Structure 1
Amino acid sequence: MQTHDTKQSIFVITGMHRSGTSLTASLLQSTGVDIGQRLMPPAEGNVKGYFENLDFTDFHEDIFASQGISKAGWTVEKQIQVPEQFLERAKFLIQGNLSRKIWGWKDPRTTLFLDYWANLIPEANFLLIYRAPWEVIDSLYRRRNVGDEAFDFNPNFALQVWLNYNQELLKFCERIPERCLLISIYSIAHDPTFLIQAIKDKFGIALNYPASDIYDDSLLNTQAYRSHRPILIKHYFPQVWELYQELNAKAEVPEGFSSSLVNQLSHIPSYEAWVLQDWLDLRRLEKESFKLRNHLEQSQEELDRHRSQLQQTIQQNQAERERTHVELTQSQSQLQQTQSQLQQTQSQLQQVLVELEQSKTLILAMESSKFWKMRIAWFWLKQVFGVTENSKQSFNRSLSRAKKLLYLLKNKGLKYTITRLSRKVYLKLDDGSANIEVLPETYQGWLQKNFPRESDLRKMAETVEVFTNKPVISVIMPVFNTPERFLREAIESVLTQVYPYWELCIADDASTQPHVRAVLEEYRAKDSRIKVAFREQNGHIAQASNSAIELATGEFLSLLDHDDLLTPDALYEVALLLNRHPEADMIYSDEDKVDEHNQFCLPFFKPDWCPDSFLSRMYTCHLGTYRRSLVTEIGGFRVGYEGSQDYDLVLRVTEKTEKIFHIPKILYHWRVHPESASSGAEAKPYAYIAAEKALTDALSRRGEKGVISGTPGYLGLYVTRYKIENHKLVSIIIPTKDLGETLNKCLKSIFEKSVYPNYEVIVIDNGSTEDYTAKVINLWETQEPSRFRYYKLDIPFNFSKINNYAVLQAKGEYILLLNNDIEVITPDWIDAMVEQAQRPSIGAVGGLLLYPDNSIQHAGIVLGIGGVASHSHKKLPSIYPGYGGQVITINNYSAITGACLMCRREVYERVGGFEEKLAVAYNDVDFCLKLVEKGYRNIYLPHVVLYHHESKSRGHEDTPEKLARLAKEAEYMQTKWSKILKDDPCYNPNLTRSSDDYRINI
């Protein structure tokens, strides 16, 4: 057996039940010894408390139960052999006390495990407490605890147990006397300070002396000394008597106290003095009983007289009550009328809210539909062809142009017609204004607040001169047949940068439009920082980008598409970050869209670097800046990944570095027009095939076996399913209280729908009283005897304690915490969670939880909302894809809900499980943040779908007491995790903290 060297002061307090171990433990606790946090509460048999550490008590009881022994330890077996599977649990108990300098535990059951603990904790000291056998059995007969009925039909069994326990004490003390202190409880009661001095003399450990009033001598009943019971033991149980004498002889005692014990035993009366005493006592009791019976009859007569008088008074009060009832009925009628009016008002308000929510959903659906994109294209075409809403002449002109278009198609062919139409479109667009026009209200408000003003840009320009590091940033721009206006505006956006240390490296990919070369040569002549390469053959965007990179001399590369725009502070912000973090290898910013009228729209505010989110979609995109030496090392852009060449590049870059930084500012305007890649998912279908290929390559390079598939109906969004290397045991832990129907629905959905081959379900009952709940438990114990286990834990509700206790009982390599009001929807839910949980980088795994009406209850947790945290996209329809596809893709979140949370067991234990100071709220968030602190990533899976009938067992936070507790737990979180609550790395600071729907923060 592996031992554990604690280098601490450890005291193990044990001895036969009812021998004074509780008194000893209380004395040590008062001197500063930590005997545990989870102690057995006081009861009738021990009004001051048992002082038993329930963690160790449960451990011993479970060993007894595994071997068919009473949990109390009523056995005459000697040292109990501990099965191997309990070793890790024992070590976990010890590790939980490593931070304590002086600690220990008290449990009489330890007597039967002395050698086990002595080997496991070589530094432990053992306080072996004993008491006279007649007093122990007298206390057991009076106590009547659960399990004590073992003595009802065999009173002698109590003495046999006493003999067994104290024989074990004595043998253990004789084997390793240097680690044991054998002491009578009478010595401690005689002088409590003697125990402290004996510990100091024996073990060299100086403890504080207890207060003078710590011990109440009335609690130690010694009446049996003055009875005939000792002579019974001596006469009929000589082996017990002799062992007690031997204990007294070998125990540590205060000076002069041993003679007192001898004197007490020497004055025990002989049997002649008490042989008829029981007969005499019985007759005295009969006489006293007769007197009491007469007194009871007299009291009954007096009670009847009082009852008659009371009846008269009741009749008088009844008449008064009826009058009051009439008045109350009238008041209730008025109240009902008022309530009816209020309900009507509330109903109207609810209907308005429902209609508002439906309108929001409808708008979201409309804006993401193909119809809406067609509508944008229609208005664009109307402007191109000069169509106005109320112009008959315009209609006639458009009709005439349509006829001409049909004529050209019929007589000149498709190619000629497209060329003519493209030129018409280009000439029309070239007349547009460069000014920002009317914007959507919310984004317009954000831009007014955040877009840099002229004064801001001047200050930035001044700041550049004091930068310690002024790296040259090479802006990489591949060009092919770009409309002249868009090309000029893209180049101008670089020329107007307030950061001057840049070079613009342009590679023209053999454009066929003559204006392209003319514009590029014009700008090359205008500014020496502009470099241009004219490719002889078209090689598509990857080769063109590599040609531009060959021109670069800067330390960093920033990518710019040929029709997009940089904000004037874009390169300044990149340089500023590099001065703060010169180690950065990759930098990306937020972005928005710019339409053909130079109107800014559709902002995309991104999270910090989230590797698993990135496997779901290319979200870093623009503005992307990369260390040139790193891009050169990986070979630049790869041919064959056109359309997703930047996705492939970043996948390879991030395999070489973790120095990735995000600038949460809009620094890039991505051009959207009917021909651009950003106008819709259908614009470049080949790009999504290339993306799947790039992701598949990435998994292969990383040695992770998995399959990439697209998200149906959403091009550009992907799901990764990993191969399960080993179907290890999953322990599903379900705390519950009553609500048998809800629990049964949960269990039925697990056992009937789950396809994972290796799991167990552990139900922890936290005080159920309903008969139906017991029937549900019995049902599943019968139907699933090998996969279902049940434990009772009757403590005040504490979600953290319940789950921590349950994990100790679990056998699985994976822990899956599940609320009792969860209902499984997807059969492979466990498989999908294990796929992710098996990965060393992953901490907690969660899924998509829905309300019964199919609205979203949980799709990840965002920090800072409501002061601490809130579920993202809560109460939105489940068909809603979420902000940037968050709901329907795999994403990293700082936290996920404990209502359905999986992790590896070693991960759970590494962070110490759930924080038990957080009894109800935020314990899952705290747990997840502890995982983040240790370097793990938490992950949300959209393909793990379950119903959640939220908070049925516990209810909602709707009472003053609950609200006070919630406020206290929120304060704990805000104190402990203030930094990350203010800046969630999986959420963007430009998004609101006042709601969970990802609205812009303005």
Structure 2
Amino acid sequence: MENSAPKSSVIIMTGMHRSGTSLTASLLQKAGLQIGDRLMGSANGNVKGHFEDLDFVEFHQNVLQSQGISVAGWTEQQQIQVQAQYLASAQGLISDRAHLPIWGWKDPRTTLFLDFWLSLLPEAKYVFLYRSPWEVTDSLFRRGDVIFLNNPNFAVRQWCNYNQAILDFYQHHSEQCILIEISSVISNQNCLIDLIREKFGWELHSPESVYEPALFNANSDTYYRQALVTKFFPDAIDIYQQLQQCADIQPPILEAPPGIDLTCNSWILQDWIDLKQITKQKQQAEKQLAEINQQLETVKGELAQANQQVEAVRGEVAQANQQIEAVTRDRDRQIAELNDQSQQQLKKATTKFQQQLTQATTKFEQQIEELNNQSQQQLQIAQMEAQQLKLLIVAMESSKFWQLRRRWLDMRQKLNLSTMDTLYQNYLLSTQDSLAVSNVVAPAITVIDGIPVSDNPQYQKWLNKNYPKPAKLRKLKSLVTQLTYQPLISIIVPVYNAPESFLRQAIESVIEQVYENWELCLADDCSTNLNIRLILEEYALKDERIKVTFRAENGHICQTSNSALEIATGEYIALLDHDDLLPPHALATVVELLNQHPKADFIYSDEDKVDADNIHKDPFFKPDWCPDSFLARMYTCHLGVYRRSLVEEIGGFRVGFEGSQDYDLVLRITEKTENIYHIPDVLYHWRIHLQSTAADSNVKPYAEVAAQKAIAEALERRDEAAIVTPAKFPGVYTVRYKIRKTSLVSIIIPTKDLAEALEVCLKSIFSKTTYPDYEVIVIDNGSREAKTFKCFDYWQQQESDRFKVYKYDVPFNYSEINNYGVSKAEGDYLLFLNNDTEIITPDWIEGMVEQAQRKSIGAVGCLLLYPDNTIQHAGVVLGIGGVAGHSHKHLPLNQPGYISQAVSVNNYSAVTAACLMCRRSVFEEVGGFEAELAIAFNDVDFCLKIISHGYRNIYLPHVVLYHYESKSRGYENTPAKQARFAGEIKYMKQKWQKLCDRDPCYNPNLTKSYEDYSLNI
């Protein structure tokens, strides 16, 4: 090492930790010594501050850490050898302070570097502070350092090591050193100032006292601790006595008191530690007790004040009661007088009204007759026009052109000509044109005998194609009689003042079932319409399978359903409202499934609505069981079939959930079983009339409140902390989960040039994001433009702790780029984001972490919008266009979509990786993105791998971004790209054919040609 002669006077203060070096440094600072501009602040055990120059502290810590030594300096090496690489840093520290006339620093770690600093500052002076081993050990124990709690003896050994180093140095350089015990400084702080003046010839002024007795602990057991150290650590006592002998000011030497029996050092120091911890706990407990007593006194005062107010209110109430009695007497007198006057006026008014009513009735009857005549004429004209239009349609459909058109469409479909061009433009099909086609009013459809009638031509086509005709029903009836398993199904029907015609139709629809092993359990809830009782008794006499119970008092739908459940004996129950209908094949279809899956506990089907004229409409084609979709809305609805023993096990229907009793029932049942099956067929017709929920969900507003309560209680049972709020649309709810732990989120963004798009993306992240712990990792895939690198440089300066860029210059492969990005990420959560996106909702990361943290969830996706505020992505549906398409593409923002799918949290088989989050552990478990899928479908493949590992994927409508879609990559507009794209389609179909054919989060009765949830006909 090269010596560097100081240009100013230097004092180095050091000693074993807890020996009073901080007190001494504060004293010398006030006396005029410059000890640094950047000092370590206060902490546990140093409430006044450490008075340590952080530049020297960090230098010592870096050297210690490089040699595998604790940064606190806990080591049994007496001197640390400093590598050459740190020499320049040390010299820089000295040169930065060379302009100061008198300066220095304080750091206990300096004790381990005395020889090193002597080589650089040969003229420096040293102030060594020491303190007795029992006092230092006691102070360390009170501070609670873990290293000493686990190894008490190590505290004494550290004292020995530090002070032996001080002794060795002092003995060789005593003329440059002052050795003093802290007690001498405390008793007379000017003694140190005088000693520096005498020994070093430096003038320092005498400051005011800096010593506070409360900050130096000296308990009454000093002699007992001294005895411990004397008995078990004689080498410490030897060193201490040498320090006392060499000290520039001689303090008294304490002797161990006689009569103390000490036999073991392994437990006695541990007891010392335990005593310190108990003392600390006692102090905390006493503080808490004082606070509680203070709160108690406050509450007592408030209670006394409240009692006074209660007495005052009681007096006011008594006075008010007297006034009420007086007013009541006066009111009764006035009412009697008014009654007499009213009777006379009523007689006069009645006579006059009868005269006016007679005149008005005569005039009204004349007007009705005139309107009837006009209506008959208009009806005849409309019927003639309708007949002409029907003839025109028949002529069109009979023409050769129409027949050739049908053949041409069939040929296009077989040759796949209708989809490949669009696939080349965007592998998730755009439906801008297809939406227009699918919404064109179709020509009228001929109604077939035995098939329900619909006012929707598209649904009528579906009914004609799928509803069983009489011949098929006869065949089905014969088939079910041959099934091995024919369970009794109890149909539960709560009845209250049902429209008589609808009630009869409901009962008849059960009697007409082709499966005959059923019982109909009707419970009347004290209907005020006496005909209801007569109708029920009539049917009970006609068919012994029909059971009826009449409740003694009105109890609403839950108690009434339980009354029907009490008379049920079937292995399964099915729920039917008193005005709804079952198609004749409903129970037979259920029993067919039970023969395939006899352990089924809960079965639900698709449904439609039927009006007062038995016109069918609004088919509801549902996904298979999706637990998170179900938390957003009750979608299983009707027909619902449940194992009776399971329903009874959970206590049947719960009072207090009226209007959403089925929702609450399914939430509880699905917590008990995973044997849940969906039949994708319309097996229930929900009646629409003025008082029904089917017509308007606002008819029963209490149902919304009950549904929210049912969801909240389900989450509480499942130990998932969350808040449930109603969404903007009726019957839809949003569950927001509490984030259990705020962990690092790594946002991975592949890019290649397009600095403008990337700048929009990054600016929106850093300016809007409210989540506190995230990093942004940009993977540069061969950028060449200067403005791109300028963008990188800007954000590296603005967000140096959060923003990183890694170069990965290989031919574009989305999977490999993102996999590389993961290798550079440090977060527990991975968020894959396209460079052509823009954040809209500030809490976007919170929303995604809420779901990603759940053990059942794999990938989390969000709502992506085009710049015109139409939907670009709201989940991915498998099978559209052959592989996959985006749900509700081009639907305007804030439109609910099919069954409110676009505005509610839903499970999907896949979500786009334009914005996708998952836990790192899930990513690693499934093996990341498939490198063989360079461009298309890699996110779909990734999501399907996640599903195959038992997780669910989820879409969040409340996390919203703009997506300008594939700006970096462009379109599939070359033969090479198209060939590669065709290979990726083939890969997906070979690997995931079953899921592409039947997406469990979709319904086979919905189209795979468009993305608008229109019917598959």
Counterpart of 2:587 in structure 1 is: 571
Counterpart of 1:615 in structure 2 is: 631
Counterpart of 2:889 in structure 1 is: 874
CA distance in 1, matches of 2:366, 2:604: 41
Counterpart of 1:334 in structure 2 is: none
CA distance in 1, matches of 2:898, 2:877: 13
- Which residue, out of 834, 853, 869, partners 2:868? 853
Counterpart of 2:575 in structure 1 is: 559
Cα contact 1:437–1:599 (8 A) shared by 2:
yes
Cα contact 2:910–2:944 (8 A) shared by 1:
yes
Counterpart of 2:506 in structure 1 is: 490
CA distance in 2, matches of 1:586, 1:780: 55
CA distance in 2, matches of 1:816, 1:389: 70
- Which residue, out of 560, 583, 588, partners 1:544? 560
CA distance in 1, matches of 2:776, 2:695: 50
For 1:772-921, what aligned pairs fall within 5 Å after superposition? 772-921=787-936
Structure 1 residue 960 displacement after superposition: 1.7
For 1:963-974, what aligned pairs fall within 5 Å after superposition? 963-974=978-989
Q: 1:798 to 1:500 in 2, by over 3 A?
A: same
- Which residue, out of 503, 519, 531, partners 2:547? 531
Structure 1 residue 440 displacement after superposition: 1.2
- Which residue, out of 466, 470, 488, partners 2:482? 466
Structure 1 residue 435 displacement after superposition: 9.0
Counterpart of 2:751 in structure 1 is: 736
Deviations 1:202-224 (A, max 9, x none): xxxxxxxxxxxxxxxxxxxxxxx
Counterpart of 1:726 in structure 2 is: 741
CA distance in 1, matches of 2:533, 2:366: 34
- Which residue, out of 740, 760, 764, partners 2:779? 764
Is 1:392 aligned to residue 395 of structure 2?
Answer: no
Deviations 1:172-226 (A, max 9, x none): xxxxxxxxxxxxxxxxxxxxxxxxxxxxxxxxxxxxxxxxxxxxxxxxxxxxxxx
Q: Residue 903 of structure 1 aligns to a residue in which SS?
A: strand
Q: 1:999 to 1:513 in 2, by over 3 A?
A: same
CA distance in 1, matches of 2:746, 2:367: 67
Cα contact 2:745–2:829 (8 A) shared by 1:
yes
Is 1:449 aligned to residue 449 of structure 2?
Answer: no
CA distance in 2, matches of 1:921, 1:770: 26
CA distance in 2, matches of 1:794, 1:840: 36
For 1:219-298, what aligned pairs fall within 5 Å after superposition? none
Cα contact 2:451–2:463 (8 A) shared by 1:
no
Tell me: higher relative CO, structure 1 or 2? Use CA pairs within 8 A at least 6 residues apart: 2
Is 1:676 aligned to residue 692 of structure 2?
Answer: yes
Structure 1 residue 880 displacement after superposition: 1.6
Bigger mean CA deviation after superposition, 745-754 or 460-469: 460-469
Amino acid aligned to 1:647? Y
Q: 1:866 to 1:701 in 2, by over 3 A?
A: same
Structure 1 residue 393 displacement after superposition: 3.8
Bigger mean CA deviation after superposition, 742-751 or 461-470: 461-470
CA distance in 1, matches of 2:796, 2:822: 19
CA distance in 1, matches of 2:730, 2:906: 17
CA distance in 1, matches of 2:646, 2:775: 48
Counterpart of 2:23 in structure 1 is: none
Is 1:691 aligned to residue 707 of structure 2?
Answer: yes
Cα contact 2:450–2:470 (8 A) shared by 1:
no
Counterpart of 1:593 in structure 2 is: 609
Structure 1 residue 958 displacement after superposition: 2.1
Counterpart of 2:90 in structure 1 is: none
Task: Give the TM-score of the pair, scaled to structure 1.
Answer: 0.57
In the alignment of these two chains, the number of paired residues is: 586
Amino acid aligned to 1:868? V
Structure 1 residue 439 displacement after superposition: 2.5
Structure 1 residue 694 displacement after superposition: 0.4
Q: Residue 974 of structure 1 aligns to a residue in which SS?
A: helix
CA distance in 1, matches of 2:367, 2:1003: 41
Cα contact 1:387–1:395 (8 A) shared by 2:
no
Cα contact 2:708–2:724 (8 A) shared by 1:
yes
Deviations 1:383-432 (A, max 9, x none): xx9999996248999xxxxxxxxxxxxxxxxxxxxxxxxxxxxxxxxxxx
Cα contact 2:815–2:933 (8 A) shared by 1:
yes
RMSD of aligned Cα (Å): 2.2
Q: Residue 1000 of structure 2 aligns to a residue in which SS?
A: coil
CA distance in 2, matches of 1:522, 1:633: 33
Counterpart of 2:646 in structure 1 is: 630
Amino acid aligned to 1:950? E
Amino acid aligned to 2:920? R
Q: 1:81 to 1:805 in 2, by over 3 A?
A: farther
Amino acid aligned to 2:586? A
- Which residue, out of 761, 765, 789, partners 1:750? 765
- Which residue, out of 523, 531, 539, partners 1:507? 523
Amino acid aligned to 2:477? A
CA distance in 1, matches of 2:956, 2:807: 32
Structure 1 residue 468 displacement after superposition: 1.0
Q: 1:954 to 1:82 in 2, by over 3 A?
A: farther
CA distance in 1, matches of 2:894, 2:645: 44
Q: Residue 637 of structure 2 aligns to a residue in which SS?
A: coil
Amino acid aligned to 1:544? T
Is 1:705 aligned to residue 721 of structure 2?
Answer: yes
Q: Residue 973 of structure 2 aligns to a residue in which SS?
A: coil
Q: 1:441 to 1:770 in 2, by over 3 A?
A: same
Counterpart of 1:648 in structure 2 is: 664
CA distance in 1, matches of 2:368, 2:904: 41
CA distance in 1, matches of 2:367, 2:751: 66
Cα contact 2:454–2:617 (8 A) shared by 1:
no
CA distance in 2, matches of 1:471, 1:671: 28
Counterpart of 2:391 in structure 1 is: none
Q: Residue 783 of structure 2 aligns to a residue in which SS?
A: coil
Counterpart of 2:1008 in structure 1 is: 993
Task: Give the TM-score of the pair, scaled to structure 2.
Answer: 0.56
Deviations 1:89-139 (A, max 9, x none): xxxxxxxxxxxxxxxxxxxxxxxxxxxxxxxxxxxxxxxxxxxxxxxxxxx
Deviations 1:705-742 (A, max 9, x none): 00000012x12100000000001000000000000010
Amino acid aligned to 2:564? A
Q: Residue 699 of structure 2 aligns to a residue in which SS?
A: coil
Deviations 1:955-997 (A, max 9, x none): 0122222111111000000000010110000000000000110
Cα contact 2:451–2:464 (8 A) shared by 1:
no
CA distance in 2, matches of 1:446, 1:711: 32
Structure 1 residue 680 displacement after superposition: 1.0
Runs (5+) with no aligned partner, structure 2? 1-65, 70-363, 377-448
Cα contact 1:387–1:394 (8 A) shared by 2:
no
CA distance in 2, matches of 1:608, 1:446: 20
Cα contact 1:434–1:597 (8 A) shared by 2:
no
Amino acid aligned to 1:392? L
Larger of the two Rg values belongs to structure:
2
Cα contact 1:731–1:816 (8 A) shared by 2:
yes
CA distance in 1, matches of 2:829, 2:1014: 36
Deviations 1:68-93 (A, max 9, x none): xxxxxxxxxxxx9999xxxxxxxxxx
CA distance in 2, matches of 1:755, 1:894: 29
CA distance in 2, matches of 1:457, 1:436: 14
Structure 1 residue 685 displacement after superposition: 0.4
Amino acid aligned to 1:577? L
Q: 1:880 to 1:388 in 2, by over 3 A?
A: farther
Counterpart of 2:954 in structure 1 is: 939
Counterpart of 1:962 in structure 2 is: 977
Amino acid aligned to 1:580? Q
Structure 1 residue 676 displacement after superposition: 1.1
